[in-house]
Amino acid sequence: MKRTPLKEIKGGITAPQGFLASGVHAGIKKQAAPDLALLVSVKEGPIAGVFTTNRVVAAPVVLDRAHLRGKVGRAIIVNSGNANACTGARGLADARETARLLASRLGVATRQVFVGSTGVIGHPLPMARIRAGIPAVVTRLRRGGGSEAARAIMTTDLAVKEVAVTARIAGHRITVGGMAKGSGMIHPDMATMLAYLTTDAAIAQPTLQRALKAAVDPSFNSISVDGDTSTNDTVLCLANGLAGNPLLTAGSRELAAFQELLDHVCHSLALKICRDGEGVTKVVRILVAGARTQAEAKQVAKTIATSSLVKTALFGEDANWGRVMAAIGRSGVPIAPQKLGLAFEGIPIVKQGVGLGPAAERRIDRVVRRKAFTITVDLGQGSQQAWLWTTDLSYDYVKINASYRS
């Protein structure tokens, strides 16, 4: 198989062939910012989805799960400014009406339309504004509209998050694009995090679903900004087959090459979410090695990654490794304190459970001033490992979240 290396290109979700997008201000947000985004493929195709594990689930997630049973997608419409969560039967009716109105406008089947919402929980969707916004957002649909759509799904996000990557796979140029929003409520197993991926690859739906799941675990499911998961998390990937490649089949080298594209887009968007986390000044990788099982490694990593004491120390550029040790100890995993090792960016600070003293501390003092670094824990109990990306906890995090609704 001949393959060109991965190459990032412009265009986001509209980078692959045959995708149009747009964004408008429909008046759902109080401020004059875009709040209604639309993505349409010129051709229907297989769609794959991964959703929140939160048991309190927003109406659009209920609708999308139902539509996903049809396995075919054509359009995705997303509003920001209102999560349509905890809105009961009315909320579900509103999500359904949104899908129906858009389907009718586009002349496609309602079940090929997917809906996303993000914003405040518990307020009914302003349907008059959605109804008026749909013709407007359809009219603006265009080939280069990816960034406009990516902007319209933002809430407290500071930066537009989009990426696209392309490669020639066995003679066919295949492209994967993506956009995401999310900066608060970010936590493993997804959190107010919406990500929409597009590809022109020809691929069957079950293969696409497996590939998406594989890409989401080490990316969107491995970041933690504040330990909260949301009611609305959704990752959807829509494929239209316009690349003209033979169907990507399970176990093939072509599928592996496509997986690399998908992994790259998910990893890139997940890191963009971390960097754009509410009030974030640092992104730190917590790597836990030497565990008996991957689940134990992940549990320890999660406890460290969500510790307010660890996160405020990161913000203060304080090499307070004792807080990392305390987090390891309360993780619930039966660790052996006398076997613990700890290093910052490869510089050891704890061996066999004991601190290595002032000289080592001075060396890690320099590491914690960086914008990004890795904290490595060695449990000394086995060969399994896991990692999470976390962020610091700053004044601005408190400021943004104390005043979000007011």
Binding site for its own copies (CB under 8 A): 53-57, 83, 85-90, 120-123, 184-185, 187, 189, 226-231, 306-309, 312-313, 315-316, 318, 320-323, 325-330, 334-335, 337, 340, 350, 352-355, 393-395, 397-399, 401-406
Q: Which is nearer to its own copies, 31 or 338 (CB)?
A: 338
Q: What are the E-state strand segments in 275-404?
A: 283-291, 341-344, 347-351, 354-355, 372-378, 384-391
Question: Residue written as tokens 């494929």?
Answer: 239
CA pair distance 103, 111, nearest whole angstrom: 8
CB 199 within 8 A of CB 13: no
CA pair distance 273, 284, nearest whole angstrom: 13
Amino acid occupying residue 309: L
> Smallest distance from the beta carbon of 390 to its own copies, in angstroms?
12
Q: Which is nearer to its own copies, 30 or 55 (CB)?
A: 55
Q: Which is nearer to its own copies, 35 or 200 (CB)?
A: 35
> Smallest distance from the beta carbon of 120 to its own copies, in angstroms?
6
**Strand 372-378, strand 283-291: pairing:** parallel
Instruction: Give me 345's structure tokens.
Output: 């960016």
Q: Which is nearer to its own copies, 289 or 319 (CB)?
A: 319
Q: Which is nearer to its own copies, 371 or 399 (CB)?
A: 399
Buried b (16+ CB within 10 A) or exposed e, 324-361: bbbbbeebebebeeeebbbbbbebebbbeeeebeeebb
> Smallest distance from the beta carbon of 227 to its own copies, in angstroms?
6
Active-site hit among 118, 175, 192, 231: 192
Percentages helix, strand, coil for the chain, rounded to the nearest 5?
A: 35, 30, 35
> Smallest distance from the beta carbon of 89 to its own copies, in angstroms?
8
**CA contacts within 13 A on the Cβ side of 350:** 24
Query: Is 98 a residue of the active site?
Result: no
CA pair distance 17, 290, nearest whole angstrom: 45
Distance of CA 152 to the CA centre of its chain: 16
**Strand 172-181, strand 194-199: pairing:** antiparallel
Q: Which is nearer to its own copies, 120 or 170 (CB)?
A: 120
Distance of CA 176 to the CA centre of its chain: 15
> Smallest distance from the beta carbon of 289 to its own copies, in angstroms?
17
Q: Which is nearer to its own copies, 151 or 187 (CB)?
A: 187
Residue 346 has phi, psi (to 5 degrees) of: 85, -5
DSSP 159-189: S-EEEEEEEEETTEEEEEEEEEE-SSS--TT
Instruction: Classify burial at 205, counting beta carbons within 10 Å of its beta carbon; exposed 0-12, middle 13-18, buried 19 or more.
Output: middle
Q: Which is nearer to its own copies, 216 or 350 (CB)?
A: 350
Query: Any idea which residues carry the catalytic annotation?
Result: 192
